[in-house]
Amino acid sequence: MTHYYAHTAEQLPQKDWHPLSSHLEEVANRAAGFAASFNAGDWARIAGLLHDVGKATPAFQDYLVRSAAGKARRGEVPHAIHGALLARGMDPGLGKLLAYILAGHHGGLPNADDLMRKLEPPKAVDLDAARQFLDHLGISELPRSVPFQTNVSELGFAISFFLRMLYSCLVDADWLDTEKFCAKDTAAYRCGFPTLADLIARFFPTLDALVEKTPDTPVNAIRQSILAACRAHADDEPGFFSLTVPTGGGKTLSSLAFALEHARAHDLDRIVYVIPYMSIIEQNAQVFREFLGDDAVVEHHSSAQARDADENDESYAMTRRARLATENWDAPIIATTAVQFFESLFAAKPSRCRKLHNLAKSVIILDEAQMLPPPFLLPCLAALKELTARYGATVVLCTATQPAVQKREDFTKGLEKVREIVPDTAALHASLKRVTVENLGALTDDELNERLAGEEQALCIVNTRRHARELFERLRDSGTENVVHLSASMCPAHRTQVIAAIKEHLREGRPCRVASTALVEAGVDIDFPAVYRAAAGIDSIAQAAGRCDREGRLTAAAGAPAGRVYIFTPADHALPRGHFTQTWNAAGEVLRKYNDVLAPDAVEHYFRHLFWMQGDKLDDQHILLDLSEGWRASEYSFRDAAGKFQIIKNDMRSLIVRWGPESDTVDALINELRWSESPVRALRALQRYTVQVYEHQLKELFEQGAIEVVEDEWFVLGDRNYSDELGVVEQSESSIV
């Protein structure tokens, strides 16, 4: 038989190129190993053997020779379509399912109409040579069915989800084996993560020591009871759980304890923390490292920074290993954003789908689960149901305000068999109740200013950057002492410094009034006696309340809830439009009907009413139809669904700022952008000195001459437009957060 090759390598003679038969066998074996966790090893093995069979043609082998000599254009000779055509020839039905992942293993999962155009017999495709090689591999038939059964109403989405998971197994196996041949040094760094058994041995002695020396207070006693409940339920069968714990109840460590012991009890492979905000990820990841070690946690988000280290230093290997693990989540603990997690579950590109198979047999903690985006709620729930029903995963809905997403008569597409870890959430809420909530109605800025000036220490959270700026300026100009502004107009490094100063004011008992946007609700551990919250949903109000008497010191001294939370409607500022209006309308009904608007029954009422108001907009882009409607003809719109599933519309631009105390560092990084051939490290480091602005704001700053453009790609703000009090300053600041 003719000797065929899969890949060339620089400075290697042709006889040492990557043999095609070896590549196909290795990819098949890896992919089958990945898919074994969901009983699809036979499907994945055949996909691995077929994926590059199109390279077994004289045309492609000639292309490799010309490519090694620098005389070929990348991808000019197609090879992915051959396996798809041969699979469909073996079985028109099941073969078409495999054809999606084979034809798209480089370019991405296609829509059905795109796939059919590719499967039309092209003149340039040499199927005879590929078929002969296929006979050599010994493939004569496909699996007889998909490896699961379900209701007809769910079958279409279940098959589309199965294909994406199978696709993940194939593309990850393909990339890993190609890397092993073409980039041996890189491949070597992928090894070395501790096992979950190692992490369990590290975690629990450290946790037990912490509990032993924790002061004996009522709040700490409740935290320990929550931890005990998590450990007691860890042996329960995999599936859906909820952990409904008020803010300050110790969810982070308790949920990690549950996840580690649950993984041990059921032989699960990893723990994935899904968190809505990057600031919470960084905070939680630091906690995890303190208990598990620096080598255990991989952060996958845009602000994750690579630390500088010498290549011979142990930390260099650790950092590079973690960076590589963001590609396929092959690590024991992953901390990522909700956007990254859910958008990947509906992605079509191989780079986004590659990690998905590692969600099988994992514990998935959805922190702040109430943040599930209503326009995509039904697709998100459908994906979570698939992961638990057919891929051996456990999902924990972890929140202070549990969303009403369980199946019921008026919400038939909700989650079933969700088990609450804490036995009595109403009693827990009552025991951890530290605040009273009062609705003040409409307040003008003058009235709000007067109330805040009369407080020694108070936090006021409003809905727009503009309102936060104007409120700060009004308080400052009226002579109020120690006024602080906090918003996303300030870069992360600046905000970190400001939050540290706020904590010091509070700790020392000094006057402190903070005008902030909602970003302060995202896991910022601060503790005010009084919090004012502009009109918002009950979930946001609960998050704001979590910044009030957080440690229960005032309540313990008073013998009753002593933190004060005030809700008000800004009389001088319009409410944000769109979905925000519905959240406030739903909150308004709860504020009218319930004395304790943060009690579990009030929160459930809020979410039920909110979802009822949304109606069919809970799948606003009709993504479930794209992935299920045409299942009888195996017609799926993978690419369309991926394009529609964008939780955050990318209508903002990154603006680098020279924040005063660290301006020299920023300048050095900007110079690295200018001169480095690979600016990735600099861009990651610059995330701490970057502010997101809308296009119209960027245009206005351009018109003011405040923007410097670096290498036609990156925007740098001039010094005079960045304030130590306000961050980015321009004429019309109206964006939320």
3-state SS track over 348-365:
CCHHHHCCHHHHCCEEEE
Q: Do residue 400 and residue 468 come from a single domain?
A: no
Q: Edge-to-edge strand order for the sheet containing 483-486? A: 435-443, 563-570, 530-534, 457-461, 512-516, 483-486
Residue 733's pLDDT is 45
Q: The CATH number of the domain where 479 resides is what? A: 3.40.50.300
| Span 638-648, average pLDDT | 93
- 628 domain-assigned: no
Strands (E), 368-510: 394-399, 418-420, 435-443, 457-461, 483-486
pLDDT class of 731 with cuts at 50, 70, 90: low
Dist. CA 402–CA 480, nearest whole Å: 38
Domain end call among 163, 186, 209 = 186
- 720 domain-assigned: yes
pLDDT tens digits, 593-638: 999 999 999 999 999 888 887 777 899 999 999 999 889 999 999 9
pLDDT tens digits, 361-376: 999 999 988 888 889 9
Could you tell me how far CA 456 lies from the centroid of its own chain? 38
Dist. CA 344–CA 613, nearest whole Å: 28
Dist. CA 173–CA 543, nearest whole Å: 42
Dist. CA 452–CA 480, nearest whole Å: 9
- 646 domain-assigned: no
Domain span at residue 710 reads 652-728
- 336 domain-assigned: yes
- 136 domain-assigned: yes
Residue 313's pLDDT is 46
Q: Do residue 707 and residue 559 come from a single domain?
A: no
SS (H, E, C) 696-708: HHHHHHHHCCCEE
pLDDT greater than 60 at residue 305: no
Task: List the single range of 114-128, 172-186, 526-540 with lowest mean pLDDT.
Answer: 114-128
Query: By three-state DSSP, how is residue 303 classified?
Result: coil
| Span 423-430, average pLDDT | 89
CB 530 within 8 A of CB 566: yes
Q: Do residue 570 and residue 456 come from a single domain?
A: yes
Residue 33's pLDDT is 97
Element (H, E) at 274: strand 270-275
pLDDT greater than 90 at residue 270: yes
Residue 215's pLDDT is 87
Query: By three-state DSSP, how is residue 300 classified?
Result: strand
pLDDT class of 308 with cuts at 50, 70, 90: very low
523 vs 276: which has the higher pLDDT? 276
Which of 430, 268, 492, 289 minimizes the C-alpha distance to 365?
268
Q: Which two tokens stand for residue 181?
A: 């041949």
Domain end call among 381, 402, 429 = 429
| Span 73-101, average pLDDT | 90
Q: Which two tokens stand for residue 254?
A: 């308790």
Residue 315's pLDDT is 55
pLDDT greater than 80 at residue 335: yes
Dist. CA 567–CA 440, nearest whole Å: 6
| Span 245-258, average pLDDT | 89
Q: Which two tokens stand for residue 311?
A: 């290549």
Q: Do residue 569 and residue 688 come from a single domain?
A: no
pLDDT greater than 60 at residue 307: no
- 314 domain-assigned: yes
CB 61 within 8 A of CB 19: no
pLDDT greater than 90 at residue 10: no
Residue 123's pLDDT is 64
Q: Do residue 367 and residue 447 come from a single domain?
A: no
| Span 183-190, average pLDDT | 87
For the chain, the average pLDDT equals 90
pLDDT tens digits, 96-144: 999 999 999 999 999 999 999 988 866 667 888 888 888 888 787 889 8
Dist. CA 379–CA 388, nearest whole Å: 15
H helical segments located in 564-662 = 579-593, 600-614, 623-626, 638-644
Q: Do residue 547 and residue 464 come from a single domain?
A: yes
pLDDT exceeding 90 applies to what percent of the chain? Answer: 60
pLDDT tens digits, 18-40: 999 999 999 999 999 999 999 99
pTM confidence score = 0.90
Local structure of residue 635 (DSSP, 8 states): B
Residue 311's pLDDT is 45
| Span 679-704, average pLDDT | 87
SS (H, E, C) 23-51: HHHHHHHHHHHHHHHHCCHHHHHHHHHHC
H helical segments located in 91-237 = 94-103, 112-119, 127-137, 152-182, 184-188, 196-213, 218-232
- 315 domain-assigned: yes
Q: Do residue 112 and residue 156 come from a single domain?
A: yes
Domain end call among 166, 186, 206 = 186
Element (H, E) at 452: helix 445-453
Residue 732's pLDDT is 46
User: Got the DSSP string for 513-556?
Assistant: EEEE-GGGGTT----BSEEEEES--HHHHHHHHTTBSTT-HHHH
| Span 657-682, average pLDDT | 87
pLDDT tens digits, 386-420: 999 999 999 999 988 888 898 888 888 899 999 99
Dist. CA 263–CA 257, nearest whole Å: 10
Dist. CA 537–CA 556, nearest whole Å: 28
pLDDT class of 586 with cuts at 50, 70, 90: very high
pLDDT greater than 90 at residue 566: yes
| Burial of 135 (C-beta count, 10 Å sphere; 0-12/13-18/19+) | exposed
DSSP H helix total and E strand total for the chain: 30, 21
Q: Which two tokens stand for residue 341?
A: 């997690």
- 611 domain-assigned: no
Neighbouring C-alpha atoms within 13 Å toward the C-beta of 389:
21
Task: List the single range of 153-157, 301-305, 452-456 with lowest mean pLDDT.
Answer: 301-305
Query: By three-state DSSP, how is residue 378 classified?
Result: helix
Dist. CA 52–CA 49, nearest whole Å: 7
Q: Do residue 550 and residue 693 come from a single domain?
A: no
Dist. CA 291–CA 311, nearest whole Å: 26
Q: Do residue 116 and residue 202 come from a single domain?
A: no
The β-bridge partners of 271 are: 333, 363
pLDDT exceeding 70 applies to what percent of the chain? Answer: 95
Q: Do residue 253 and residue 147 come from a single domain?
A: no
Q: Do residue 209 and residue 66 come from a single domain?
A: no
| Span 153-170, average pLDDT | 96
669-672 — which CB contacts under 8 Å span 24+ positions?
670/710, 670/714, 670/716
Dist. CA 506–CA 520, nearest whole Å: 15
Instruction: Name the CA radius of gyration of the chain, rounded.
Output: 28
| Span 301-324, average pLDDT | 59
Nearest-10 Cα torsion for 583, 584, 589, 592: 150
pLDDT greater than 80 at residue 303: no
Which of 491, 490, 488, 497 minimizes the C-alpha distance to 521?
488
Which of 725, 599, 586, 707 minimizes the C-alpha distance to 656?
707
| Span 1-12, average pLDDT | 81
| Span 330-349, average pLDDT | 94
CB 537 within 8 A of CB 610: yes
Q: Do residue 300 and residue 230 come from a single domain?
A: yes
Residue 124's pLDDT is 67
**511 C-beta neighbours (distance < 10 Å), count:** 13
Residue 391's pLDDT is 98
Element (H, E) at 482: none
Percent helix / strand / coil, the chain, rounded to 5: 55, 15, 35
CB 94 within 8 A of CB 142: yes
Task: List the single range of 285-294, 624-633, 728-737 with lowest mean pLDDT.
Answer: 728-737
Q: Structurally, how many domains does the chain consist of?
A: 4
Residue 279's pLDDT is 66
Greatest extent of the chain over all pairs of C-alpha atoms, in Å: 89
